[in-house]
């Protein structure tokens, strides 16, 4: 499966916002209406109880003040009212009721409000009505005679109140959905516009971050861009340098070949020209192989900044091998080569490390004087870290060039480098190999005195 196929389609921000707003809106509407209905009902019920109590006490006073209490007086007081009056005897027998014949009614002795009134003078309670969605509030008052006068009022329950507001609730929910959709569209546009504007000005992205949360993203984009631009500049410079470096020997080769081809070269010049062609071709071969080596190292870098399968490499034997290989070169340059290997092992690639030491040794010989001296050393320092060191008493590197000699194609003295077969890539390759081995390079050099380059590898981890 291609990576693009497995990618999930991006979600729409407006949909997410709308869903969130609807959810919050609905929750707010439902919670507020349930809460409000509950609170209103509680306040309303308390009010009913208070009113009932007051009326019951007033009626009781009127009933007791009457010298000849008759139920007719009570009935008259209740006429036109929705309240229900009941008069209960001390044993619970219903003596009179304003809505039902008293003899049909069961004993009220155990009714909670009656029992409470009997004991404490007054009592109240609420019970479900026989009518659905209604409840009855009772308030009972004990008379001096021990009889109990009770008033009842039927009201709506909380749930029936709630049923009444249901259509309103529905309308509220619909309004929330509508408003959420509208608000989501507006908010998405409002939130996204600064991001689009930021994406339109990638050059100044870090200076125009609209939201704090986007700072890491802007930072990544900015550094990625800078890296790409740098890479692009480096690639362009490298291509220009390579073309230039290849063009010079090719022009010479072409010129000499043409002289021989057209017969303009005298027969005694032919071997001389042939030797020059050979020399220039050799330079090109070295250059091409250095470029190939660098591109291989670049490839290793992009896969990961360290070697994938490092193996233990004996630095002492590696140094002896390089010493043997370079003896002829040193002799030709009238330079003495000395090798002082001490036991040291690093984890890495033997081929790459051989290349590293060879390049350093080659430079130490080439940038030297007849009668000069080069020493190859290796060992472990006082922290236990293995190192290789190449020391010469050659021409040295000026202070201001010491940081630049590891750049590709940088040379202190171009003509000397070319005359001695340099490509300008030797130390760039050394730096690359050192980075792949997590090694540190220290360069110490004084013009006219000599140069020491030391490569220190990480100390092995103690087990
Ligand atoms: P080159 O192929 O030109 O030697 P390098 O990358 O190996 O390229 O080195 C870059 C430059 O650093 C050289 O051109 C030279 O000027 C300077 N250099 C390197 N090693 C030494 C040294 N041991 N002594 C003096 N100069 C050196």
Q: Please report the pLDDT score of residue 1 as a whole number.
A: 47
In angstroms, rounded to a whole number, what is the distance separating the alpha carbons of residues 321 and 28? 82
Residues of the chain with CATH 1.10.287.130: 219-302
Contacts for 398 with CB less than 8 Å, ≥ 6 apart: 412, 447
Q: Please report the pLDDT score of residue 6 as a whole number.
A: 57
123 in ligand 1 pocket by Cβ < 6 Å?
Answer: no
Q: Please report the pLDDT score of residue 207 as a whole number.
A: 83
405 in ligand 1 pocket by Cβ < 6 Å?
Answer: yes
48 in ligand 1 pocket by Cβ < 6 Å?
Answer: no
- CA-wise closest residue to 325 among 293, 287, 352, 359: 359
In this structure, which residue's CA is closest to atom 20 in ligand 1?
363
In angstroms, rounded to a whole number, what is the distance separating the alpha carbons of residues 284 and 252? 11
DSSP string, 313-344: EEHHHHHHHHHHHHHHHHHHTT-EEEEEE---
423 in ligand 1 pocket by Cβ < 6 Å?
Answer: yes
Q: Please report the pLDDT score of residue 449 as a whole number.
A: 96
Pocket residue to mutate for ligand 1, from 245, 367, 375, 454, most atoms within 8 A of Cβ: 367
Give distance in angstroms: CA of 83 to centre of ligand 1.
114
15-161 carries CATH number 3.40.50.2020: no
Class of domain 219-302 (CATH, top level): mainly alpha
Give pTM, 2 decimals: 0.64
Which alpha helices (DSSP H) does 66-96 contain, by range?
71-78
Residues of the chain with CATH 3.30.565.10: 311-456
Contacts for 256 with CB less than 8 Å, ≥ 6 apart: 265, 273, 274, 276, 277
The topology under which CATH files domain 311-456 is Heat Shock Protein 90 (3.30.565)
b/e per residue 40-74 (b: at least 16 CB within 10 A): ebeeebeebbeebbebbeebbeebeeeeebeeeeb
Low-confidence residues of the chain: pLDDT under 50: 1-2, 4
- CA-wise closest residue to 77 among 50, 57, 54, 98: 98
450 in ligand 1 pocket by Cβ < 6 Å?
Answer: no
Q: Please report the pLDDT score of residue 366 as a whole number.
A: 96
Q: How many residues does the chain have?
A: 463
367 in ligand 1 pocket by Cβ < 6 Å?
Answer: yes
| Chain segment 62-108, per-residue pLDDT in tens | 888 776 667 777 777 777 788 899 999 999 999 988 888 888 899 99
Q: Please report the pLDDT score of residue 32 as a whole number.
A: 85
Residue 114's CB: how many other CB atoms inside 10 A? 22
Q: Is 146 left (phi over 0), alpha (psi -120 to 50) or beta?
A: left
In angstroms, rounded to a whole number, what is the distance separating the alpha carbons of residues 124 and 117? 8
Question: Would you give the distance in Å from CA 338 to the centre of its chain?
Answer: 55
Q: Please report the pLDDT score of residue 16 as a whole number.
A: 84
Residues of the chain with CATH 3.30.450.20: 15-161
394 in ligand 1 pocket by Cβ < 6 Å?
Answer: yes
Give distance in angstroms: CA of 315 to centre of ligand 1.
23
């Amino acid at each position: 499966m291609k990576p693009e196929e497995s990618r999930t389609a991006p979600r729409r921000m407006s949909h997410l916002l709308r869903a969130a707003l609807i959810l919050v809106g609905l929750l707010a509407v439902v919670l507020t209406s349930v809460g409000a209905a509950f609170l209103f009902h509680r306040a309303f019920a308390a009010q009913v109880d208070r009113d009932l109590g007051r009326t019951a006490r007033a009626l009781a006073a009127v009933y007791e003040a009457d010298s000849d209490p008759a139920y007719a007086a009570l009935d008259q007081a209740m006429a036109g009212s929705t309240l229900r009056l009941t008069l209960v005897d001390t044993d619970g027998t219903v003596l009179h009721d304003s809505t039902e014949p008293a003899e049909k009614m069961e004993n009220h002795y155990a009714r909670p409000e009656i029992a409470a009134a009997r004991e404490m003078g007054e009592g109240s309670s609420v019970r479900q009505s026989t009518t659905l969605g209604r409840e009855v509030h009772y308030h009972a008052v004990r008379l001096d005679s021990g009889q109990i006068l009770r008033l009842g009022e039927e009201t709506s329950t909380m749930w029936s109140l709630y049923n009444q507001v249901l259509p309103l609730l529905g309308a509220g929910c619909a309004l929330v959905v509508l408003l959420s959709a509208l608000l989501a569209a507006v908010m998405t546009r409002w939130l996204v516009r600064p991001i689009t504007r930021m994406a339109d000005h990638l050059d100044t992205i870090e200076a125009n971050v609209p939201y704090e949360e986007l700072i890491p993203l802007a930072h990544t984009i900015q550094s990625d861009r800078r890296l790409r631009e740098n890479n692009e500049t480096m690639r362009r410079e490298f291509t220009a340098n390579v073309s230039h470096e290849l063009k010079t020997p090719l022009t010479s080769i072409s010129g000499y070949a043409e002289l021989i081809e057209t017969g303009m070269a005298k027969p005694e010049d032919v071997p001389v020209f042939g030797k020059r062609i050979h020399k220039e071709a050799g330079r090109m071969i070295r250059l091409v192989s250095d470029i190939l080596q660098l591109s291989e190292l670049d490839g290793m870098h992009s896969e990961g900044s360290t070697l994938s399968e490092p193996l233990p490499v004996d630095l002492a034997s590696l140094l002896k091998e390089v010493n043997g290989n370079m003896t002829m070169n040193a002799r030709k340059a009238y330079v003495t080569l000395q090798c002082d290997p001490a036991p040291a092992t690093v984890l890495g690639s033997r081929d790459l490390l051989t290349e590293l030491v060879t390049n350093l040794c080659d430079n130490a010989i080439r940038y030297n004087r007849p009668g000069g001296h080069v020493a190859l050393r290796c060992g472990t320092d006082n922290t236990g870290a293995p190192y290789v060191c190449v020391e010469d008493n050659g021409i040295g590197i000026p202070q201001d060039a010491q940081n630049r000699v590891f750049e590709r194609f940088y040379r202190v003295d171009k003509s000397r480098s070319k005359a001695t077969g340099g490509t300008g890539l030797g130390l760039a390759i050394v730096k690359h190999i050192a980075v792949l081995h997590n090694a540190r390079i220290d360069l110490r050099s004084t013009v006219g005195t000599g140069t020491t380059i030391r490569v220190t590898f990480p100390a092995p981890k103690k087990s």
